[in-house]
Structure 1
Amino acid sequence: MPYTPREAVEKTGFSLDTLRYYERIGLLDSVERNAGGQRVFTDDDLNWLAILRCLRDTGMPIARMLRYAELARGGDATFAARAELLEEHDREIEIKIAALRDEQVRIREKIRWYRVAPVLDLERAPATSVGVHD
C-alpha cells in the first residue's frame, strides 16, 4: 500500500525534514516517487523506518545506523555482521539502563527525603512558625 509523505510522518513519528535527511544521507534509499515527483512510501519503507526509529530512540549514532543500513543492503551474507552490530548496541543499552537505574535510586531517595522532611520540620518547629517552610 502506498503512503504519502504526510502519512509516513504520521505512522513513523519522524518529521518530514528527518525523512528527507535520512534519504539524503543514505539511511532511507529507493523511495519511489509518483508522476508529480512526490515521495511515495511503501510498507517496506515504513518497516525500515520503524527499525531506524528504534535504533535512534535507543541512542545509536547516525554513523552506526548508516553502517547497519549498508549491511542490510548487502543481503543475507551480512546477517552475522548485522547481528554483531546489534549485539554491541544492545550491550550499550544495558549499560545505559543500569546507569539510569542507579540515578533512579538517587531520585527516589530524594523523593522520600522530601516526603519525610516536612513532617520532621513540623515536629521540631515552634508553634509560631508552623506553615513557614521552603
Structure 2
Amino acid sequence: MKIKEVSEKYSIPADTLRYWERVGAIPRVNRDEAGYRDYDKESLDWIEFAQCMRHAGVSVEYLVEYLQLFKQGDKTLQARKDLLDEQLETIYKKKIEIDRTYTIIKDKVQHYEQYFENNSKK
C-alpha cells in the first residue's frame, strides 16, 4: 500500500507518516523498486498502534522509546510492559477526568432543557 492510500485509510497526513518514520515512532517502511514507501501489514499494524496511542495523548517520544525497546527483542519485554502500564495509568486518569467533565456538561444541558421546557408552556 502506498503512502497516499495509508494516509486516506487512517486519516493521517502523509507528512505525519513520514515524520513518524523519520524520528523512529514507527519502524522504517519497505521501499519498492522505484524507492516509494510500500506499507505491508506489519507497517499498518505499527501505524494503528501509533495512531491509537497519539489519540490517547501519548507523546511521540514515548513511541520512539517503545520502538527502540521492541527492536532489542524479548529481553525488553518487562520494560515494554512497564511503559504500557505507565501509559495505561495515565490514560485511566484522563478517562476519569473526561467522565467527570461529561457528567457536568450533561447536567448543564439537562438544566437548560428543563428551563426551555418550563418556559415554553407559559
Q: How does 1:33-72 map to 2 (within 5 A)?
A: 33-72=31-70
- Please name the residue that 2:76 is paired with: 78
- Please name the residue that 1:121 is paired with: 119
> What is the alpha-carbon distance in structure 1 between the residues aligned to residue 20 and residue 107 of structure 2?
42
Deviation of 1:45 (Å) = 0.6
Greater Cα offset, 3-12 or 18-27: 3-12
Call closer, same or farther: CA 1:116–1:33 in 2, change over 3 Å.
same
Q: Deviations over 1:40-70 (max 9, x none)?
A: 1111111111111111111101111111111
> What is the alpha-carbon distance in structure 1 between the residues aligned to residue 82 and residue 92 of structure 2?
15
Deviation of 1:93 (Å) = 0.9
Name the TM-score, length of structure 2 as normaliser. Answer: 0.90
> What is the alpha-carbon distance in structure 1 between the residues aligned to residue 50 and residue 120 of structure 2?
53
- Please name the residue that 1:107 is paired with: 105
Name the TM-score, length of structure 1 as normaliser. Answer: 0.82
- Please name the residue that 2:91 is paired with: 93
> What is the alpha-carbon distance in structure 1 between the residues aligned to residue 118 and residue 87 of structure 2?
46
Call closer, same or farther: CA 1:119–1:33 in 2, change over 3 Å.
closer
Deviation of 1:111 (Å) = 1.1
Task: Report percent identity of matched pairs.
Answer: 29
Deviation of 1:122 (Å) = 4.9
Deviation of 1:31 (Å) = 1.4
> What is the alpha-carbon distance in structure 2 between the residues aligned to residue 102 and residue 86 of structure 1?
24
Where structure 2 has 5 or more consecutive residues not aligned to the other structure, the ranges are: none
- Conservation of the 8 A alpha-carbon contact between 1:12 and 1:46: no
Give the total of aligned pairs: 122
RMSD: 1.6
Where structure 1 has 5 or more consecutive residues not aligned to the other structure, the ranges are: 124-129
State the SS of the aligned residue for 1:101: helix
Match for 2:81: what amino acid?
A
